[in-house]
Structure 1
Amino acid sequence: MSLIRRQSALVPDFTELWNAMMSPAAPVFGTHPLRLEDSMDEKQYTVRAEIPGIDPAKDVQVSVHQGQLTIKAERTEKHEEKGRSEFSYGSFVRTVTLPAGAQEDGVQASYAKGILTVSVPLGEPQEPVRNIQVESAE
């Protein structure tokens, strides 16, 4: 089950802009959204972020707080040659809500070939659903 909404290639991807603007950890201006994909099975939720051209030791921050996973990265522009660039530089940020049962203490992150992979172990949800009896007000 994917928690990130997929869109047709013919439809503009407004999800990235919306997520960047609505992220409580991200300023609205001066940041670029990260492109993500996710997957989940019974034991683990995995988020992969496309962030080529960065140093993961210096340029990436992964944090978890109150059921939210936030990935921040920054790519600085190098002015080595004159010419045109379509690369995105600056701050990148994305926050996703973790699924029920996510164990925040066991989160792991790795970076290889331009892809940041964040793995979140899953267990039983901490708070079971509590049913509320509806009484007649008549």
Structure 2
Amino acid sequence: MTLVKFNPEKRNNSLLPGFNDIFDSIFNDTFFNDRMITRVPAANISETPENWHIELAAPGLKKEDFKLNLDHNVLNISVEQHSETTDNQKNYSKREYSYNSFVRSFTLPESADDNGIEAEYADGILKISIAKKEEAKTVRRQIEIK
């Protein structure tokens, strides 16, 4: 017998109350969730007048684990980590932030400077700075209203 949470506060328009709760319980279970979520780190992308910035949250890795490649305006960030089994290895009941291998690809705009890409890994975050070409840098000025 399986216990299924029923939420009486949740108002839905179905003919059978609790019917949606059963499916929510099944598909929100960690067994299905772990298989439906892609195991790639989250990324933040921002822009300043001089650069684009990519931040990738990848805790538990070393900077040697990362490989950054640029191929025809596509920046590929990959990690392939080989886990060594030891006698002291922990027996996890749930493990959400382990990345054995992944690839994230970002298409750079034409205005990106290929020679101005810098990367730094600290505190579990890979920070990539991509310089803009001179003609792509935004010019700011005050416009007079007549």
TM range (shorter): 0.5 to 0.7
Q: Runs of 4 or more off by more than 2 Å in structure 1?
A: 74-79
Name the CA distance, whole Å, in 1 between partners of 2:79 and 2:120: 14
- 1:67 maps to 73
> Structure 1 residues 49, 83: CA separation in 2 closer, same or farther (over 3 Å shift)?
closer
Q: Secondary structure at the match of 1:89?
A: coil
Q: Shift of the alpha carbon at 1:85?
A: 3.3
> In 2, distance between residues paired with 1:36 and 1:90?
17
Q: What TM-score comes out, normalization by structure 1 length?
A: 0.61
The structure with the largest alpha-carbon Rg is 2
SS in 1 for 2:112: coil
Matched residue, 2:47: 40
Give the corresponding residue for 1:85: 94
Change in 2 beyond 3 A, CA 1:100/1:42: farther
- State which of 114, 117, 121 in structure 2 corresponds to 1:104: 114
Q: Alignment RMSD, CA only?
A: 2.0
Deviations 1:31-76 (A, max 9, x none): x32311110122101101111111112x100111211111111344
Residues 1:56 and 2:56 are matched in the alignment: no
Amino-acid identity (%): 27
Q: Does 1:115 align with 2:125?
A: yes
Count of residue correspondences: 95
* Alpha-carbon distance between aligned partners in 1 of 2:41 and 2:90, rounded to the nearest angstrom: 26
**How far did 1:113 drift?**
0.2
Partner Cα separation in structure 1 for residue 130 and residue 99 of structure 2: 28
Given that 2:69 and 2:77 are in contact with CA atoms closer than 8 Å, whether structure 1 keeps it comes out as yes
- Conservation of the 8 A alpha-carbon contact between 1:53 and 1:75: no
Structure 2: any 5+ residue segments left out of the alignment? 1-36, 137-146
